[in-house]
Amino acid sequence: MNKILAIIACLCVSGAVQAASSCISDVQLNGINLAGAEFNSAAIPGVQWKNYVFPTTKQLEYYRDKGVKSIRLPITWNRMQLEAYGNLERGYLAEVKKVADFAARNNICLIIDLHNYGGFKSKALSTYANYDLIFYDFWAKMAREFKSDSVALGLMNEPAHLDRSTWRDLAQTTVNKLRSDQISNLILVSGGGWSGAHSWFSGTPSNATLFANFQDPLNKMVIEVHQYADSNYSGTKSDCIDSAKMTRFLQNISVWAQENQKRLWLGEFGFAATPDCMQTMRTKLDFIAVNKMWAGWSYWAAGAWWGNYPFSIEPNGGVDKPQMNYLEKRF
């Protein structure tokens, strides 16, 4: 057992500890992305139920009853903090806290996902002077509001608007500063670019090279990757690559993780309700289920405003989506 797994196992020796620490577990924390709070991100601050939406108690109870062990909640920085170094917006923050409270009461890990693609206020973060301080200021304030092992901090979703090396250095600096400030939450660090497992070894330097030596002083960090199964890996099409190709992607990055003593999180994946896609997803989740380098996964996506999006698992008229009939057996 590597050092990271040993620490997590020690934290979960007693049932009482695990019940109070839902993000620190010796089982994979499989769950969903519950999207909506990040929608229409150009409408700032926006109006809830017009521009964006947070999950209702009824929605949260539906997914709890399906057995989810984690909820990844995408939020937009632009709504949580209107100006660099500014105070957190109390109304938006209160909605996140409602979800966090529900998750804590039900022993679900809440992952607060900063869904900003490496930008702030429609510009690449690196175009701002002292962008490292701006980024840290946001997370320091958020961490003080959610200082609990029932909440995990997802530093940045798909930081594609930043150079990969810039993102890696920024993430490392931020993790170090948070730990120096006695913040002990589980932290999720996305790979650079679009964070794809299929492209982990591509480019110069590659994510494989950049994150091999990434460190967390507390060893409470996982590397987040995404992997859609459609032919361009974008999560926008209803076709799917075959199971053998998907297995190669997962096998390669799992070997990398083992060699570099890292744990992985599949932060986004989704599939259309077709036989071919169901088979590819079955292969993917069966692989992850028996590979201890994976801390879990979160399906993309749940949420009330998806309309006809083919990957949506939001029930329609009280009827479960075909994907949910498959996923709930694996939460």
> What are the backbone dihedrals phi and psi of residue 195, each rounded to the nearest 5 degrees, phi first?
65, 20
Q: Indicate the pLDDT class of residue 236, thresholds 50, 70 and 90.
A: confident
Which one from 38, 158, 224, 314 is the annotated catalytic residue? 158
Name the token pair of 265: 């999180």
Which one from 95, 224, 268, 314 is the annotated catalytic residue? 268
- As a whole number of angstroms, the distance between CA 67 and CA 328 comes to 7
DSSP 116: S
Known catalytic residue: 314? no
Give all domains of the chain, ordered by start, each with its CATH number: 3-327 (3.20.20.80)
Find the mean pLDDT for residues 181-195: 97
**In contact, 245 and 284? CB cutoff 8 Å:** no
DSSP 224: E
> What are the backbone dihedrals phi and psi of residue 108, each rounded to the nearest 5 degrees, phi first?
-110, 135
| Dihedral-angle region of residue 219 (phi above 0 means left; psi in -120 to 50 means alpha; beta otherwise) | left
Whether the predicted pLDDT of 20 surpasses 90: no
pLDDT for 237: 85
pLDDT in tens, 159-178: 999 999 999 999 999 999 99
CA 101 to chain centre: 18
Closest CA to 197 of 140, 256, 145: 256
Known catalytic residue: 158? yes
pLDDT for 21: 57
Bridge partners, 190 (sequence order): 224
Q: What is the pTM of this model?
A: 0.92
In 3-state terms, what secondary structure has residue 259?
Answer: helix
pLDDT in tens, 5-17: 444 433 333 333 3
